[in-house]
Amino acid sequence: MGAITLRNVEKTYAPGTKAAVKVIHGVNAEIANGEFVVIVGPSGCGKSTLLRMVAGLEEITGGEIDIGGRVVNQLEPSERDIAMVFQNYALYPHMSVYDNMAYGLKIKKVPKSEIDTRVAKAAQILQLSQLLDRKPRQLSGGQRQRVAMGRAIVRQPAVFLFDEPLSNLDAKLRAQTRLEIQKLHGELGITSLFVTHDQVEAMTLGQRLMVMNGGRIEQIGTPEDVYGRPATTFVAGFIGSPPMNLIQGEADGSRFTVGGPKPETLQLPQSAPRRGPLMLGARPEHVEIDPQGLWSMTVDVQEMLGAERLVYGRIGSEPFTLRIDGTMAPPKSGDVLRLAVSPEHVHWFDAQSGARV
């Protein structure tokens, strides 16, 4: 069983000194056996530190980490029944692909026949069977990453830990390797924690996402939940490409006044949840150009991305982005567009805390 439970996990560097820095603030999470969870957030949010604490590579300052029904706080990494895939592959350059994949099993004195069987099976899954005699320098970046994953697979652990394993690959290889990781999880069904700062990776890979900010969890949920009902303005602005439009203003029934040097009052498709200062959110793909629309946007620039265009402009003094079909005639700088949005696609957040209203 590879279920993972994090109970009020904390991390402080140099605790008890004037230089003490707290980087993980009481994280609580439950990862079910066989689940694929992605920890996502910007650089410096604590996601890799949290993963390394699960792996045993970083000591925890407070709380408990439970893997498979046992608290592992005091256990060495080798005793935690985990396998980790790193960003930099960490392959032995003088060893063949076979020897790199088999090395951990040899150290554990697994019989050679069993090693051969496990390596052959992993190589078949990862399409490495023809490369077992090659050295890492003779492989592409994508092949090296597959060898690193193969080394983890042969150990047959209870938990896989991935620390930004696709960061060193180009865009095409990243997309291809994402599919391989999805297929791998489908075949093996091993509990997996995957760390990334790339929200596209997070959305495509994770059965659930754990969105982190400043050493805290902002939201845990399925990709659909996190995208469709972000819990905070941070999540709304981080998940989605381009991110959700967020406009600050004053709500009064079905009117929303955007402040700044050029104040503008918007008519809402449905009354705001309360009066007073609020943040209004709307995703670029959920807003349409409509001559009868209730909002007006002044166009600044537009980007052609093939199947779609991104139109950047302003509503009042607030920046606003619109995603339109690439076949539509592009608006010009200075054009004023009328926009429409359905009530179910309007999101509201507290202006002070950023929490969803």
pLDDT per residue as tens digits for the range 221-242: 999 999 999 999 999 999 998 9
d(CA 183, CA 189): 10
- Going along the chain from its start, the domains and CATH numbers come out as 4-237 (3.40.50.300), 255-350 (2.40.50.140)
Instruction: Tell me what pLDDT residue 251 has.
Output: 96
Q: Tokens 């982005």 map to which residue?
A: 321
CA angle (289, 341, 327) in 5-degree steps? 30
Cβ contacts of 265 within 8 Å, gap of 6 or more: 255, 256, 257, 258
d(CA 346, CA 328): 24
Instruction: Tell me what pLDDT residue 52 has.
Output: 96
Instruction: Tell me what pLDDT residue 23 has.
Output: 96
Return the H-helix or E-strand segment holding 221: strand 216-221
283 pLDDT above the threshold of 90: yes
Cβ contacts of 283 within 8 Å, gap of 6 or more: 240, 244, 245, 345
CA angle (43, 44, 46) in 5-degree steps? 115
Instruction: Tell me what pLDDT residue 184 has.
Output: 87
Residue 280: burial class (beta carbons within 10 Å; 0-12, 13-18, 19+)? buried
Q: What are phi and psi of 244, to 5 degrees?
A: -60, 140
What's the distance, CA 101 to chain centroid? 28
Instruction: Tell me what pLDDT residue 166 has.
Output: 87
What is the pLDDT averaged over residues 24-32?
97
Who has greater pLDDT, 199 or 282? 282
Instruction: Tell me what pLDDT residue 79 has.
Output: 93
Instruction: Tell me what pLDDT residue 174 has.
Output: 85
* pLDDT digits 0-9 by tens, 155-191: 999 999 999 988 888 888 888 888 888 988 998 899 9
Residue 310: burial class (beta carbons within 10 Å; 0-12, 13-18, 19+)? middle
* pLDDT digits 0-9 by tens, 84-132: 998 888 899 999 999 999 999 999 899 999 999 999 999 998 889 999 9
What is the DSSP-derived secondary structure letter of residue 232?
Answer: B
262 pLDDT above the threshold of 80: no
Instruction: Tell me what pLDDT residue 62 has.
Output: 96
3-state secondary structure of 262: coil
